[in-house]
Amino acid sequence: MSVASQDNAASVGRVGRTFVYLTLLLFALFYLLPFFIMLVNSLKPLGEITGGNMIALPQDWTIAPWLSAWSTAQIGVEPTGLKPYFWNSIRMVVPAVVICTMIGALNGYVLTKWRFRGDTIVFGLMLFSCFIPFQIVLIPMARILGILEISGTTAGLVLVHVVYGIGFATLYYRNYYAAFPTELVRAAQIDGAGFFQIFYRILLPSSGPITVVCVIWLFTNIWNDFLFGASFASGDAAPMTVALNNLVNSSTGVREYNVHFAGAILAALPTLLVYIVAGRFFVRGLMAGSVKG
Amino acid sequence: MGFLDINNVTKSYGAVEVLHKVDINVEEGEFLVLVGPSGCGKSTLLNMIAGLEGITSGEISIKDRVMNGVHPSKRNIAMVFQSYALYPNMSVGKNITFGLEMHGTPKEEREKALKDVASLLQIDHLLDRKPGQLSGGQRQRVAMGRALVRDPDVFLFDEPLSNLDAKLRVDMRTEIKKLHQNLKTTVVYVTHDQIEAMTLSTRIAVMYDGYVQQLGTPKEIYDTPENVFVATFMGSPAMNVMPATVEMIEGAPHAKISDSEGNHVTLAFAQDNLADWAGKEILLGIRPEAITDPEAADRDSNRIEKLANRVGVTEPSGADTFVTMTLGGKDIIARMRADTTVAAGEMFDFAVNMEKAVAFDPKTEARIKP
Amino acid sequence: MARAASVDMRTRMQELLPKIVLAPSFALVLLFVYGFIAFTIYLSFTDSRMLPSYGWEGWTNYSKLFRIREWDTAITNLAIFASLYIVICTIIGLMLAIFLDQKIRGEGLLRPIFLYPMALSFIVTGTAWKWFLDPGIGIENTMHLWGWESFEFGWIKDRNMAIYTIVIAAVWQSSGFVMAMFLAGLRGIDNEILKAAQMDGASNWQLYRRIIIPLLRPAFLSAFVILSHLAIKSYDLVIALTGGGPGNATAVPATFMYSYTFTRNQMGIGAASAVIMLMTIAAIMVPYLYAELREKK
């Protein structure tokens, strides 16, 4: 959001400004503290957590909880750590994001530059599909995945995420291409470019910003999904979120809080990384998708 | 059969007809301007010639080949768009040759054509830049280059100058005219600017409300407008149109009008054909330049009438001074010399060139023809 | 006039291609969204238990559903959760946006801090908050260690208060996002309007109350729609934070549907609860989307 700040936005007096700064800092603390505490406690031995202060820095720094969370912690029945599930998530997220983005871009192109009778209805139906509570599709989806024999596999999850990601991807590209001058498409038509040539040569080279937005959006959403993962891929094919939940809620043995935190941070790492690298676009994308829905 | 034939073409969106039976034949080498206010259908017609919009009924043919249903790229036309529509991701050179590439022209030929066009338009030094790095005038040239390089049968221009500032617009206008004179191409040009229409065209089609109101040379359109719309749309300031009554004085038709004081004045017509209208209401149209100070009256005219009237507002514009007054209950503009001495509020003897006056039927608003 | 014959191949191909390209996604959406919705609605009228079964039962599942106490709890919880979540997120979001808009130094640093929770999974958020709110080791324990012996914060173990802990964690996660929406709205307001209002002698307070906040109406609407839709769908957070407990004190429709369908083998009732969730969301989203689509025409 690199919007120029308003040079004459109402400004307040000295006391007011102090109050404003204090409030902002307080909230910054509120947002940061949980993550800070998770991080600090993931670096402590278990004894220091149960007996000590959660805000204090570790007296005895250790990365053992991280190693345990990654490769040896008990998830379900196997002491595999989160590692295999992390890769499950990657194997699920990457194809789903790539396929969804490609389909979304083409759909957006058709819906804005090749309008036809009833295109608004088609788009409206796709748009509404973004907002349905997924509980409504769980039962039939389980049946279909069973029939296709991809129940409980990563491939099945990819299919699910593609189907329910198309709506958002289409929405992003449609809003973006709507502002793309139609005269360019007409000029290219007169120049003799066909449907796909116009897309590849004229629109796609200008689609960098929205592609970043769409990829980030899909990536965070699909990575963070729990409902579909829990419903269709428990066991060996479970994604990271499901594995983390199993780790944290496993009722056997001592609760290894430090390992839980390390695992939680591991699960959050890819999306946080994406957010830190391209956060500006992320926010802009959320705006485009929500405010202008 | 002309070079570009538009035969009885209509366009409807659903039940709404937006273009009604347009019939225009354009000869090779002609510069046809479609002019009219926004929403008159001129751009729709242009898009139909380009093949960007379908034809509801009627026929468009170029070089005797019917174009209905033919893809835009196969009509051998080129178009310059209002926004120039330069591909933002391609260099200027690529922009110009993209159409040739799409039509499968070999690379050497493309390079040669690019060179020719670039030197013709003096944009050689810009070929490696992106459109975003160009000024408005340069973009305009590139857009024309993209059209020229194709060597099409017909050039289509869609308000190409409307995004330029006033001075550049005049320069580019001259340049387009020069190009047309040198290349003798066939052009269809859409604009809402009547000065562009007058200066550029060999023929003008004035459009309004989906109808071609009048088709003719600039002089025909200006001097003998078919109706009140054409009369007031073409020319700046617009033609003065006021109610008048035809009165026969000594066997000759006069226009009886009320002046600024509410008194009746009469102006003798130059034509005799208005005798039929004796005693009836008409609309009298007089262009501002036909109302002057007596010293500036057209010496070749054989019907200069004197009109004493009170001066309302004077607006010196440099080259001329425009004088506003009340006549026939309307605000009337006269175009006077720059150094005229009239002052607001005084009575003045204006000279009216009645040879240039036109009369319209107040019911149909059509010109009463001699 | 029938001119189809003279339309060339290329033009006809160009007219068909867009539809061919769009068709697969449209078919997918029709089947996987609308077909599935229809199927679930159908199931909600059948005697399905562990597996779909096609014995027609009419409204039985619905009347059963509304006699189940857990569903009652779920609906009440959703009402409490959704209204608090929406109101608190909106207040915090609006306040932070207005404060950030005061030409604040370090805005570039604060904004991502407010926003980053959005990037986290609800499972991660739940894991973190579950622990802070745990009286044995979390905040309560820390306060005790700091010498505030009487401090008590056991909501998460309290049947009556546990739902509020979900509100806290959800607000932590989403309020920054609402802030971003309002900030975008504030930055989109025409500066000249503000200048004119200041010329008219409006004080800061009046400027916000009379001019700026009314101009943010679209942002309020979007925030409301997004938040209510998130609230109704919320499942992960409840699972991670309380697991629906203690007992089923924090059950919401989403957890109810899941447990009735997949663990209690009452698929018909589960389907009926899903249908009610869909209808609730549709009641909010459809008018909103309809208005947005119409506007753009």
Going by C-beta distance under 8 Å and a sequence separation of 6 or more, which residues neighbour residue A235? A76, A152
Contacts of A201 in chain B (CB under 8 A): 87, 90, 98
Probe site for chain C from A46, A131, A216, A274 (most C CB atoms < 10 A): A131
Q: How far is A276 from chain B (nearest CA, A)?
A: 28
Q: Say how far apart CA B19 and CA A202 lie, in whole Å.
A: 32
Per-residue pLDDT reduced to its tens digit, A5-45: 344 444 557 788 888 999 999 999 999 988 898 898 888 88
Characterise B8 by phi-psi region: left (phi > 0), alpha (psi -120 to 50), beta (else): left
By residue range, what is the domain housing residue A46?
14-62
Tens digit of each residue's pLDDT (9 = 90 or more) over A198-212:
999 999 998 888 888
**CB-closest option in C100, C181, C239 to A291:** C181
In a domain, A35, yes or no: yes
- What pLDDT score does A57 carry? 83
Last residue of some domain: A62, A94, A119? A62
Please report, for residues A275, A283, B79, C108, the alpha-carbon distance to residue C119 in angstroms, rounded to integers and kept in the order given.
7, 10, 48, 17
- Find all residues with CB under 8 Å of B97, minimum gap 6, and list them: B110, B111, B113, B114, B149
pLDDT band of residue A4 (cuts 50, 70, 90) is very low
What token pair was written down for C160? 């009556």
Q: Tell me the CA end-to-end span of chain A in Å, nearest whole number.
A: 18
Q: Do A135 and C120 touch (CB under 8 A)?
A: no
Q: How many CA atoms does the CB half-sphere of C207 hold within 13 Å?
A: 22
Report pLDDT digits (tens) over B194-220: 999 999 999 999 999 999 999 999 999
Question: How many residue pairs bridge chain A and chain B with CB atoms within 8 Å of each other?
Answer: 58
Question: Could you tell me which chain B residue has the CA closest to the CA of A181?
Answer: B85
State the 10-residue block means of pLDDT for chain C, 297 residues long: 53 83 92 92 86 82 88 91 95 92 85 88 88 80 78 79 91 90 83 79 80 85 85 86 82 90 87 92 87 70
B368 touches chain A (CB under 8 A): no
pLDDT for the residue C61: 85
| A contact residues 48-107, partner C, Cβ 8 Å cutoff | 49-50, 52-55, 103, 106-107
Contact call for C11 and B68, based on CB within 8 A: no
Residues 165-184 of A with CB under 8 A from B: 181, 183-184
Model confidence pLDDT, tens digit, residues B177-200: 998 998 888 999 999 999 999 999
**pLDDT value of position B36:** 92
Average pLDDT over residues A258-266: 90
Contact B335, B247 (CB under 8 A): no
Residue A67 falls within a domain, yes or no? no
CA A44 to chain centre: 29
Q: pLDDT at position C206, please?
A: 81
CB C44 within 8 A of CB C278: no
On the question of pLDDT at A289 being above 70, the answer is no
pLDDT above 50: residue B106: yes
C-alpha dihedral sign at A8, A10, A14, A16: negative
For residue C8, give the chain B residue with the closest CA. Answer: B70
Contacts of C3 in chain B (CB under 8 A): 55, 68-69
Tokens of A58: 């570790």
Q: How many CB atoms lie within 10 A of CB B344?
A: 11
For the purposes of burial, counting CB atoms within 10 Å of the CB of A107, is it exposed (0-12), middle (13-18) or buried (19 or more)? buried
Q: Do A193 and B83 touch (CB under 8 A)?
A: no
Tell whether A191 lies on the interface with B, counting CB pairs under 8 A: yes
Whether residue A65 contacts residue A258, with contact meaning beta carbons closer than 8 Å, is answered with yes
Question: Which is it for strands B154-158 and B186-191: parallel, antiparallel or unpaired?
Answer: parallel
Q: Which residues of B touch C11 (CB under 8 A)?
A: 51, 69-71
Inter-residue contact B283 to B360 (CB < 8 Å): yes
Which pLDDT value is given to residue A236? Answer: 83
User: Is A190 in contact with B82 (Cβ distance < 8 A)?
Assistant: no
C138 part of contact set with chain A, CB < 8 Å: yes
Does residue A218 contact residue A210 with C-beta atoms inside 8 Å? no
Instruction: Tell the CATH topology of C70-296.
Output: MetI-like fold (1.10.3720)
Residue of A284, A120, A6, A290 whose CA lies nearest to C228: A290
Could you write out the three-class secondary structure of chain A? Answer: CCCCCCCCCCCCCHHHHHHHHHHHHHHHHHHHHHHHHHHHHHCCCHHHHHHCCCCCCCCCCCCHHHHHHHHHCCECCECCCCHHHHHHHHHHHHHHHHHHHHHHHHHHHHHHHCCCCCHHHHHHHHHHHCCCCCHHHHHHHHHHHHHCCCCCCHHHHHHHHHHHHHHHHHHHHHHHHHCCCHHHHHHHHHCCCCHHHHHHHHHHHHCHHHHHHHHHHHHHHHHHCCHHHHHHCCHHHCCHHHHHHHHHHCCCCCCCHHHHHHHHHHHHHHHHHHHHHHHHHHHHHHHHHHCCC
C1 to chain B, minimum CA–CA distance in Å? 6
A80 vs A67: CA distance, rounded Å: 11
pLDDT of residue A257 exceeding 60, the answer is yes
DSSP one-letter code for C46: B
**Mean pLDDT value across residues A226-249:** 87
Whether cis (ω within 30° of 0) applies to the bond prior to C246 is yes
pLDDT band (50, 70, 90) for residue B227: very high
pLDDT above 90 coverage of chain B, percent: 42
Please report residues of C whose CB lies closer than 8 A to that of A147: none
Question: CB neighbours (10 Å) of residue A198?
Answer: 23
At C56 the pLDDT is 84
Q: DSSP string spanning B134-174?
A: S-HHHHHHHHHHHHHTT--SEEEEESTTTTS-HHHHHHHHH
Contacts of B71 in chain C (CB under 8 A): 8, 10-11, 14
Together in a domain, A51 and A159: no
The shortest C-alpha distance from B156 to chain C (Å) reads 20
Tell me what pLDDT residue C295 has. 67
Q: pLDDT at position B129, please?
A: 92
CB-CB contact of C145 with C139 (8 Å)? no
Residue C112 sits at φ, ψ, to 5 deg, of -65, -30
The whole-number pLDDT of residue A268 equals 92
**Of C39, C42, C61, C36, which Cα lies nearest the Cα of C266?**
C61
Average per-residue pLDDT for chain C: 85
Q: What percentage of chain A carries pLDDT values higher than 90?
A: 31
Q: Does A187 contact B89 at a Cβ distance shorter than 8 Å? A: no
Report the percentage of chain A scoring pLDDT > 70: 90
Contact A219, A97 (CB under 8 A): yes
* B146·A187 Cβ contact <8 A: yes
Q: What is the DSSP letter of B38?
A: T
Counting as contact any 3 or more CB pairs under 8 A, the partners of B are: A, C
Of B50, B67, B58, B56, whose CA–CA distance to B24 is shortest? Answer: B58
Helices C36-43/A135-147 angle, 10° precision:
100
In angstroms, what CA-CA distances link A274 with A243, A281, A282, B207, C91?
Answer: 21, 10, 9, 57, 28
Q: Do residues A126 and A224 both lie within one domain? A: yes
Q: How far is A170 from chain B (nearest CA, A)?
A: 23
Residue A216 placed within a domain: yes
Q: Is residue A75 assigned to a domain?
A: no
Question: Does position A178 have pLDDT exceeding 70, yes or no?
Answer: yes
Does residue A6 belong to any structural domain of this protein?
no
Closest CB to C7 among B57, B69, B73 = B69
Q: B54 and chain A: CB distance < 8 Å anywhere?
A: no
What tokens were used for B283? 């609309």
Output the CA–CA distances (angstroms, integers) from residue B253 to B245, B283, B302, C85, in the order listed.
Answer: 10, 14, 15, 85
**Whether residue A99 sits in one domain with residue A42:** no
Instruction: Give all domains of chain B, ordered by start, each with its CATH number.
Output: 4-233 (3.40.50.300), 240-360 (2.40.50.140)
Sheet holding B281-286, edge to edge: B264-268, B252-258, B240-249, B281-286, B358-360
A273 and A192 inside one domain:
yes
Residue B63: name the closest of B53, B74, B54 by CA.
Answer: B74
**Are A48 and A134 within one domain?**
no
Residues of C at the B interface, defined by Cβ within 8 angstroms? 1, 3-4, 6-8, 10-11, 14
Burial of C224 (0-12, 13-18, 19+ CB in 10 A): middle
Q: In this structure, what is the dihedral angle of CA atoms A228, A231, A233, A234, given to the nearest 10 degrees?
A: 130
Sheet with strand B211-216: strands edge to edge: B77-80, B154-158, B186-191, B31-35, B203-208, B211-216
**Given an 8 Å threshold on Cβ–Cβ distance, is C1 in contact with B71?**
no
Identify whether the C-beta of residue B192 lies closer than 8 Å to the C-beta of residue B37: yes
Contacts of A249 (CB under 8 A, 6+ apart): C243
CATH of the domain at A115: 1.10.3720.10
Contact between chains at B103 and A197 (C-beta distance less than 8 A) = no
- Of B56, B68, B73, Cβ closest to residue C6: B68
Phi-psi bin for C289: left (phi > 0), alpha (psi -120 to 50), beta?
alpha
More confident call, C291 vs B286: B286
Quote the distance between the C-alpha of residue B291 and its chain's center: 23
Q: Cα A120 to chain center, whole Å?
A: 27
CB contact under 8 A, B68 and C10: no
Residue B266's closest CA among B241, B242, B249? B249
pLDDT of residue A6: 43
The verdict on residue A5 lying in a domain is: no
Q: What is the structure's pLDDT at A293?
A: 34
Looking at the structure of chain A, the number of domains it has is: 2
- The answer to whether the CB atoms of C124 and A244 lie below 8 A apart is yes
CB B85 within 8 A of CB B98: no
Chain segment A87-133, per-residue pLDDT in tens:
999 999 999 999 999 999 999 999 998 888 888 889 989 988 888 88
Does A31 contact C113 at a Cβ distance shorter than 8 Å? yes
B6–chain C nearest CA distance, Å:
16
> Closest-CA residue in chain C for A53?
C142
Residue, of A247 and A52, whose pLDDT is higher: A247
- pLDDT of B337 reads 87
The average confidence (pLDDT) of chain A is 84
Residue B250, phi then psi, degrees to nearest 5: 50, 40
- In the block, tokens 């994604």 appear at A239
Nearest chain A CA: its distance from C87 CA (Å): 17
Residue B248 host element (H or E): strand B240-249
Does B103 sit within 8 Å of A189, measured CB to CB?
Answer: no
* Claim to verify: residue A185 and residue A236 sit in the same structural domain: yes
CA-based nearest residue in chain A for residue C109: A28
Residue A173 near residue A105 (C-beta atoms within 8 A) = yes
pLDDT bin (cut points 50, 70, 90) of residue A288 is: low
Q: Does A87 reside within a domain?
A: yes
- Kindly report the number of other CB atoms within 10 A of residue B18's CB atom: 16
Residue A279: is its pLDDT beyond 90?
Answer: no
Residue pair A31/C176 in contact by the 8 Å Cβ criterion = yes
Residues of B with Cβ-Cβ distance to C4 under 8 angstroms: 69
Nearest-CA distance C6 → chain B (Å): 6
| pLDDT-based confidence at residue A284 (cuts at 50, 70, 90) | low
Question: Residue C80: helix, strand or coil by DSSP?
Answer: helix
